[in-house]
Amino acid sequence: MRRAVFPGSFDPITLGHENIIRRALSMFDEIVLAVGVNTSKKTRFTLDQRLEMLNLVFQDVAQVRIESYQGLTVNFCDEIDASWMLRGVRNGGDFEYERTIAQMSKRLNSSLETVILFTDPEYAAISSSVVRDILSNGGDISEFVPQAVLKFV
């Protein structure tokens, strides 16, 4: 069973995340979307809302499973027997960040490999934080997020 974890806050999920996940489906038997719970981090959407959004977006995809976790991502991968971590990269900044995380994850769990997909260019400027800024200022986010997110705003 080729199982990958795609970890993130998904606050909220964007079309960029969805694109990476759908493109990776041919590479894995199962992709676990893992919502990291960080009690000291204030989120725009509650954990339940974020889980429900993900469930709605991927309700048509049997290969995708949604979970939440606390603590180190590498430990969560170990617990659910996932040998790959899936990440997306938009630009040089993401690249440097992801390289550090991947190399540190390897130090903590040497059997875990990080797989990176580069974003398709039309999604390169989309981030959850920009979506949250647009929302706080009353703007329209419908071009940047899956439709299912809109029922939560």
Would you please indicate which residues are annotated as catalytic (active-site) residues?
A: 17, 41, 90, 128
**Of the ranges 25-33, 53-61, 82-90, 107-115, which one interacts with ligand ADP (CB under 6 A)?**
82-90
Cα gap 128→43, rounded to integer Å: 11
Centroid of chain to Cα 19: 10
With binding defined as CB under 6 A, does residue 16 bind ligand ADP? yes
The binder of ligand ADP chosen from 4, 5, 8, 28 (CB under 6 A): 8
Q: Which is nearer to ligand ADP, 80 or 117 (CB)?
A: 117
Q: Which is nearer to ligand ADP, 58 or 123 (CB)?
A: 123
**Of the ranges 12-20, 26-34, 77-85, 105-113, which one interacts with ligand ADP (CB under 6 A)?**
12-20
Q: Least distance in Å: CB of 22 to ligand ADP?
A: 12
**Cβ atoms < 10 Å from Cβ of 75:** 12
What is the identity of the amino acid at 127? S
Q: Least distance in Å: CB of 137 to ligand ADP?
A: 20
- If you write DSSP's letter for every residue of 22-84 in order, what string do you get? HHHTTT-SEEEEEEE--TTS--SS-HHHHHHHHHHHTTT-TTEEEEEE-S-HHHHHHHTT--E
Cα gap 87→38, rounded to integer Å: 19
Give residues in contact with ligand ADP (CB under 6 A): 8-10, 14, 16-17, 20, 87-90, 94, 119, 123, 126-128
